[in-house]
C-alpha cells in the first residue's frame, strides 16, 4: 500500500488528511519561504509548494507520495504570516468589510518517478465589518500567530466570515477535493478508497 508523506508541519493540514484511513507521515521542509510581492499569488503559492515537496523528497527513500501546500491570503497584495501583533492588526483591518482571495498551491510527487503535479485552488472570502475592539479581542487570544492573513477560518475568526465562495478546506490550508482528483488521476490513489 502506498504511503502519503505530508510535507508540512501544519496541524490543520494534518487534521484534514488524518480523517482518512491511510498511513500518513509528516516530514517537514527546511526551505526558507521567500515571497516576492510582485508575483501573482497563485504562482507564489505553487512555487513554494513545489519547493517544499522537492526538499522533502530528498529526505525519503522509497516510492511514497509527497504532498506539499502553501496558502496565501491576497487582497491586492500578498498577506503572509504576521511579523507581530501590530502587523496582524493591520492585516485584519485591511480585510474588514471586504472580499479577499485565498490561494493554496499544491504539489504532489512520487519519489523515484518523474511525476510532479502542481496546481492551485482559489476561494473568495468576505469579512464582515470588524470593530477595533473585536480585532483587539481576537489578537489577545493569539490565534493569529503563524497564520497567513492573521486568521484561521476554522478557529475563533469564523465569527468574522460573512460569506465564502469556493472550497472551505482550501482556506484551512489544503484543498481536499482537488487533492483527491490529483491523487486519483495521476497516482492511482483515492482518499476514500485508500484502505
Tell me which residues are annotated as active site. Answer: 70
CA angle 142–67–63, rounded 5-degree value = 145
Contact 171, 153 (CB under 8 A): yes
The number of angstroms, rounded, from the C-alpha of 5 to the middle of its chain's C-alpha atoms is 15
DSSP character for 161? E
Spatial separation of the C-alpha atoms in residues 36 and 132, rounded to whole Å: 30
CA angle 129–131–133, rounded 5-degree value = 155
Supply 71's cell numbers: 496558502
Supply 43's cell numbers: 504562482
Amino acid at each position: 500500500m502506498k504511503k502519503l508523506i505530508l510535507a508540512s508541519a501544519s496541524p490543520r493540514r494534518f487534521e484534514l488528511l488524518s480523517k482518512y484511513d491511510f498511513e500518513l507521515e509528516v516530514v517537514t521542509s527546511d526551505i526558507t519561504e521567500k515571497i516576492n510581492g510582485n508575483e501573482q499569488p497563485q504562482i507564489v503559492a505553487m512555487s513554494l509548494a513545489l519547493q517544499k515537496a522537492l526538499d522533502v523528497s530528498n529526505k525519503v527513500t522509497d516510492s511514497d507520495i509527497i504532498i506539499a501546500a502553501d496558502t496565501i491570503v491576497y487582497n491586492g497584495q500578498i498577506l503572509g504570516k504576521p511579523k507581530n501583533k501590530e502587523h496582524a492588526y493591520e492585516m485584519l483591518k485591511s480585510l474588514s468589510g471586504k472580499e479577499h482571495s485565498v490561494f493554496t498551491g499544491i504539489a504532489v510527487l512520487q519519489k523515484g518517478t518523474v511525476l510532479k503535479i502542481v496546481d492551485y485552488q482559489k476561494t473568495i472570502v468576505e469579512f464582515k465589518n470588524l470593530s477595533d475592539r473585536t480585532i483587539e479581542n481576537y489578537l489577545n487570544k493569539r490565534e493569529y500567530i503563524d497564520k497567513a492573513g492573521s486568521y484561521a477560518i476554522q478557529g475563533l475568526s469564523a465569527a468574522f466570515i460573512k460569506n465564502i465562495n469556493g472550497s472551505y478546506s482550501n482556506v484551512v490550508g489544503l484543498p481536499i477535493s482537488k487533492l483527491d482528483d490529483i491523487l486519483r488521476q495521476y497516482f492511482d490513489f483515492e482518499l476514500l478508497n485508500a484502505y
